[in-house]
Amino acid sequence: AVPCVSGGLPKPTNITFLSINMKNVLHWNPPEGLRGVEVTYTVQYFIYGQKQWLGASECRSISRTYCDLSAETSDYEHQYYAKVKAIWETKCSEWAETRRFYPFLETQVGPPKVALTAGEKSISIVLTAPKKWQRHPNDDTVSMQQIYSSLKYNVFLYNTKSRRMWSQCIANSTLELSWLEPNTLYCVHVESFVPGPPRLTLPSQKQCISTLEDQMSALKV
């Protein structure tokens, strides 16, 4: 790479890892005051306890403001730093660094897959834990449940007729709700939850299903 004068540009800002199911993407904002200037960026990362900074091969002289470091940070029990600098012609900024990143404690666990089946006065919910990021699509799938044995789910149920919300935290992957109103539209969304340091949660898409008509009243008609 062409040597540049360090400090000739302001640093990128708000550099942080956005991590979901161990897909670890570094994000930053462009340096302030350089609107309209074609800035490029170079990223390096550091494995805590190792000896030196390493270049991120896919993120050298890039113009986008994010860099997928999932492969470089795939050992989720290690801790990492990352840094980025801005380059423009012969000038470059000093490095902007993240704080120490610990994927095992910081990754957001995505929502589970939700399957709903309705009965007359019941809804059965079957949840499938989200998958860990994979380097290649044909790699063996690892469920986030395998990584976090204490993974739990917050299930939210909304009765569209009475407009009342109800929620329950469950540890296993099935839930039978059996005291519902017949012929009523219910909506469900679910969040994954790992006991421990606070993490951002990502709710599942809202899914709605109607309980069946009450057979007894159907016969009376």
Partner 1 sequence: LRRCLISVDRSLIEKSIPEVKRVLQTKDTFRNVTILSTLENLKSIKPVDVCCVTSHLLTFYRDRVFKDHQETSLEVMRQISSIANSFLYMQKTLEQCQVHNQCQCSQEATNATRTILDNYDQLEASSAALKSLGELDIFLTWIDENHQETSTA
Which residues form the interface with partner 1 (CB under 8 A)? 46, 48-52, 77-79, 81, 99-100, 102, 104-105, 149-150, 195-198
Q: Considering the complex, what minimum distance in angstroms separates the CB of residue 99 from partner 1?
A: 6
In the bound state with partner 1, the residue whose beta carbon lies nearer, of 99 and 161, is 99
Q: Considering the complex, what minimum distance in angstroms separates the CB of residue 196 from partner 1?
A: 5
Coil, helix or strand at residue 220? helix
Q: Considering the complex, what minimum distance in angstroms separates the CB of residue 141 from partner 1?
A: 21
In the bound state with partner 1, the residue whose beta carbon lies nearer, of 51 and 220, is 51
Q: Considering the complex, what minimum distance in angstroms separates the CB of residue 183 from partner 1?
A: 42
In the bound state with partner 1, the residue whose beta carbon lies nearer, of 9 and 56, is 56
**CA distance to 129, 152, 190, 200, 218, per residue, from 111 (Å):** 7, 11, 6, 11, 38
Distance, in Å, from the CA atom of 119 to the CA atom of 192, rounded to the nearest integer, reads: 25
Distance, in Å, from the CA atom of 125 to the CA atom of 3, rounded to the nearest integer, reads: 59
In the bound state with partner 1, the residue whose beta carbon lies nearer, of 48 and 166, is 48
Dihedral (Cα; 58, 2, 54, 81), 10-degree rounding: -90
- In terms of Cα–Cα distance, which of 77, 86, 82 is closest to 99? 82
- In terms of Cα–Cα distance, which of 109, 169, 171 is closest to 144? 109
In the bound state with partner 1, the residue whose beta carbon lies nearer, of 99 and 206, is 99
Q: Considering the complex, what minimum distance in angstroms separates the CB of residue 78 from partner 1?
A: 7
